[in-house]
Amino acid sequence: MTPFEPFGARLRRAMDERGPLCVGIDPHASLLAEWGLNDDVAGLERFSRTVVEAVADRVAVLKPQSAFFERFGSRGVAVLEKAVEEARAAGALVVMDAKRGDIGSTMAAYAEAFLHKDSPLFSDALTVSPYLGYGSLRPAVELARETGTGLFVLALTSNPEGGEVQHAVRADGRSVGATVLAHLAAENAGEAPLGSFGAVVGATLGDLSSYDLDVNGPLLAPGIGAQGATPADLPRVFGSAVRNVVPNVSRGVLMHGPEVVALRDAADRFTEEVRVAVAGR
Ligand SMILES: O=c1ccn([C@@H]2O[C@H](COP(=O)(O)O)[C@@H](O)[C@H]2O)c(=O)[nH]1
């Protein structure tokens, strides 16, 4: 039995208390410039600390995009470690967007890097890719169960190129994306109030009624803001599964920096728009 409350239960509570919004920490070079910061480690640190200060006490989830930190090498990763620690201390759940995926034995090491409680990058959940076969994720699933953390598995991604892999139809007639969703539903069976194994499903994808999105787990929905989707699209895209959607906005919030108040207001506006959209369904 896990000594920790499972991620799904912690996420459900955070969504109920704060609304379901996830704000991304994506320090694009262009955003650093717009904020008047240098494209260096000091600029990276100022950027990520400002985002955490602005929103970690009010949104359910923060999602640092690891790539933008890794670009600065070990000093960038040190900034990422600090951001994770400070965001969690301020009450937000942290989903590390690192999209890891490899053969099972290597996957075990990726899982330790992000989901083991003694790791400097310990996060509440990790994004992972199932495209080496869903079974290759097993070590991460097992460690997540042990540590009360979660996974978000790429199922139907927000980018237009994703369809060539995810909509491909298998010999049994089921699409690859639908197969990933079915694996997650099995993972979360019987869990209450919400399973800890979520799917990434883009908010940009239009009508998804041919997919069974009811995986009894969270659906991380990137694509709102810079990629063109809006909170008002959520009920149409997700149908009855909208209650489990964690909508992600990164640039749509970050473009309002560097002032803390302006970032906060932007996050609050998205939270309210999501609330209205979901309530009106
Ligand atoms: O299907 C996916 C999976 C992940 N992402 C990530 O989400 C954010 C989106 O940023 P915006 O600025 O709000 O467009 C970014 O970190 C992506 O890597 C995604 O967009 N789509």
Pocket test for ligand 1, best of 23, 26, 80, 245 (most atoms within 8 A of CB): 26
- Report the candidate in 199, 229, 248 with the shortest Cα–Cα distance to residue 65: 248
pLDDT of residue 3: 61
Atom of ligand 1 nearest to the CA of 162: 1
For tokens 């996974």, name the residue.
151
Residue 251 Cβ < 6 Å to ligand 1:
yes
Query: Please, what is the Cα angle at 265 between 220 and 269, to 5 degrees?
Result: 50
Q: Alpha-carbon distance 237 to 253, whole Å?
A: 22
Cα of 70 vs centre of ligand 1, distance in Å, is: 16
Residue 21 Cβ < 6 Å to ligand 1:
no
Q: Alpha-carbon distance 160 to 95, whole Å?
A: 23
Averages of pLDDT over runs of 10 residues in the chain (281 residues) are 82 98 98 98 98 98 98 98 98 98 97 97 98 97 98 97 95 96 98 98 94 97 98 96 98 98 98 94 71
Is 63 annotated in the active site?
no
Residue 6 Cβ < 6 Å to ligand 1:
no
Q: Alpha-carbon distance 197 to 8, whole Å?
A: 8
ipTM summary value:
0.99
- The DSSP annotation for 97-143 comes to EEEE---HHHHHHHHHHHHSTTSTT--SEEEE--TT-GGGGHHHHHH
The DSSP letter of residue 256 is T
pLDDT of residue 188: 98
